Structure 1
Amino acid sequence: MELYQLKTFAAVAETGHLTRAADRLHISQPAVSAQIKALEEELEVRLFERGPGGMALTRAGTRLLEQAAKVLATAEELRNAAKALKGEIAGRLRIGTVGAPEFIRLGEFSSRAVDRFPLLELEFHAEVSGAALEAVRSGTLDASFYVGDLVHPNVVGVGLREMTFHVVAPAAWADRVRQADWPTLAAMPWILMPPISTHSQLARAMFREEGVEPTHVIEADQESLIANLVVSGVGVSLLPDPLALDMQAAGRVCISEKTVMSATLWFIYLRERANDPLIKGIVELIRSLWNPEKSAAAASRVA
């Protein structure tokens, strides 16, 4: 099999469509179809189910995609190492983002990366934290910002800052929320991110600790959407500082006095890629931007 076939396999899996994959790869749709067919014949397994809605991975395809991603990552690392021998940091990095761009200083990060590594191409993908962690583990992302605990030994990271989360509610609910006990809070509608997210896991850990369960949960996958729903009077949620405090100061939300929760913001990557010139260069840039060595709250988990 050829690397280009694996790239096509990954592109079709991510986009779910032959045409979209062809656009991404800058080749024709028939070429994409032929490459997938040839790969399936060589592997002697069906990778996709074809349907009117697009291409869906089979169970075998899902398992083999992870292996394909590792092969592609290894090939990319080899190319990057060769370029590093010539004194260049060049290639493409797929980086996951979480939360608001300004919160993770994405603009500053991008600007410094362009200045320091002019041959480096950056590709950003918005994720919820849990999905970002899984994407780094599988090789779908090269690195990512991430909020939560690092529980997988093959994923390491640079601690950037501690985040504080508050229980927030519509401003009009202030009298009901500020001193409300936990059964009262749990009875209100809650707006949470998908279960894989750190946001949802923090909230549900809080519920377990207090011995309650929310009776009505509304799912939203973006922090900005959650903030808008809270302001609009839909329900209660968790929001981080400084967003929660800024919104309260503006009279848009109220904050419960019951609970403050914390989690760490990380920049994560695979342990096995720590010496990849691209990863090494971008991690050094992250360190210089956030200056975590001088922050008492930040730490690098490399052991």
Structure 2
Amino acid sequence: MNLFQLRAFDAVVREGSFTRAAERLCISQPAVTGHIKALEEHYQVRLLRRTARQVEPTELGRRLAAISHALFALADQAEDLLDSSQALVSGRLELAADSPHLVMPLLARMRERHPGVRINLRLGNTQETLTALNGERVDLAVISDISERPGLLLQPLGEARLCLLLPANHPWVGTREEVALHELRSEVLLQREPASLTRRTFERACLDLGLELRAELELNSREAVIEAVAAGLGVSIIYSLEVPRDSRVRALPLQGEGLVSRHFLACLERHAELRVVQAFFEVAADAH
């Protein structure tokens, strides 16, 4: 078997894209396409299919990817072992995060301590971050409210509480210290997309109180929520760590149970021996 072809296939499955796979491997996109075409033609199989949004493995491709992920993870560990007597002056770290506010200070510390390490960061909601971690598209993830399970290594990073984000000229600003959930019935509520941890945590807390609050507008990013609130379209929910330094908006603590989320640095245990992963865990431990 041609390992260059298998490496190209593995990269496409991890990235869900021929273009990103080429960037990951530092080769051209036509080279990636050629490697996979040669692999499929040699064995007379179909390993990948294109969808409207990305490239996905076929059933045979998924089974092969499980093997290739493990194979190249071991290759990375072997290279890491051989380099272990040297300082960490180079390397590559694939990282996903569901909150830029948590991960950016860690990246700054990592770059300061190990400037030669190249870092590729993916930002998304919690579900997208978890999918990238489980699919071995990344080595590490900064993620919220993940549960312990076999094969997963977790390091606590702290916790954050949900707040109410309001326009700076809202009547509650300057007159209230906190807001109860039931008081939001009188407000125009803006919400994140259903996969957002912010929304799921908020809706779970409302459900526990038997409170039904319907969003008037759904927005698919934290930045869009902030701009909508600043424009006076309504109020929304945001974590305390994510409250922007923006004179157009203010935040008030929400009163109630179940409004706190815990944040973790996570990796699959089979990646924990990689020196670049260990280095990032050390940085996170020092920061915490």
CA 1:101–1:255 in 2, change beyond 3 Å: closer, same or farther?
A: closer
1:186–1:213 contact (8 Å) kept in structure 2: no
Paired amino acid for 1:143: L
What fraction of aligned residue pairs are identical, expressed as a percent? 22
Query: C-alpha displacement at 1:173, in angstroms?
Result: 4.7
Distance 1:156 1:144 in 2: 11
1:170–1:233 contact (8 Å) kept in structure 2: yes
Which of 278, 283, 286 pairs up with 1:285? Answer: 283
SS at match of 2:284: helix
Distance 1:273 1:284 in 2: 15
Distance 1:180 1:174 in 2: 15
1:109 aligned partner: 109
2:153 aligned partner: 156
Distance 2:237 2:198 in 1: 7
Q: How does 1:106-185 map to 2 (within 5 A)?
A: 106-115=106-115, 118=116, 120-174=117-171, 182=182, 184-185=184-185
Distance 1:66 1:174 in 2: 56
Query: C-alpha displacement at 1:29, in angstroms?
Result: 4.1
Distance 2:50 2:98 in 1: 32
Q: Note the alpha carbon deviations across 1:140-181, whole angstroms, 9 max, x for none.
A: 110121122334332222212221221323345545997565
Query: C-alpha displacement at 1:9, in angstroms?
Result: 1.9
Paired amino acid for 2:278: K
Distance 1:219 1:69 in 2: 37
1:69–1:140 contact (8 Å) kept in structure 2: no
Distance 2:92 2:58 in 1: 29
Q: Note the alpha carbon deviations across 1:166-200, whole angstroms, 9 max, x for none.
A: 132334554599756538539743321441x4223
1:3–1:72 contact (8 Å) kept in structure 2: no
Query: C-alpha displacement at 1:80, in angstroms?
Result: 0.9
Paired amino acid for 2:100: A
Which of 257, 263, 270 pairs up with 2:268? Answer: 270
Contiguous gaps of at least 5 residues in structure 2: none
1:234 aligns with 2:230: no
Query: C-alpha displacement at 1:105, in angstroms?
Result: 0.9
1:209 aligned partner: 208
CA 1:187–1:136 in 2, change beyond 3 Å: closer, same or farther?
A: same
Paired amino acid for 1:74: L
Paired amino acid for 2:110: S
2:103–2:142 contact (8 Å) kept in structure 1: no
2:14–2:136 contact (8 Å) kept in structure 1: no
Paired amino acid for 1:182: H
Over the residues paired in the alignment, what is the CA RMSD in angstroms?
3.5
Distance 1:31 1:38 in 2: 10
1:169–1:236 contact (8 Å) kept in structure 2: yes
SS at match of 2:83: helix
Query: C-alpha displacement at 1:208, in angstroms?
Result: 1.7
Distance 2:163 2:234 in 1: 14
CA 1:243–1:16 in 2, change beyond 3 Å: closer, same or farther?
A: closer
CA 1:26–1:148 in 2, change beyond 3 Å: closer, same or farther?
A: same
Distance 1:244 1:22 in 2: 37
1:7 aligned partner: 7
Normalising by the residue count of structure 1, what TM-score does the alignment of the two structures yield?
A: 0.75
1:169–1:253 contact (8 Å) kept in structure 2: yes
2:165–2:251 contact (8 Å) kept in structure 1: yes
SS at match of 1:105: helix
1:97 aligned partner: 97
Normalising by the residue count of structure 2, what TM-score does the alignment of the two structures yield?
A: 0.78
Distance 2:215 2:70 in 1: 40
1:198 aligns with 2:188: no
Q: What is the aligned length? A: 282
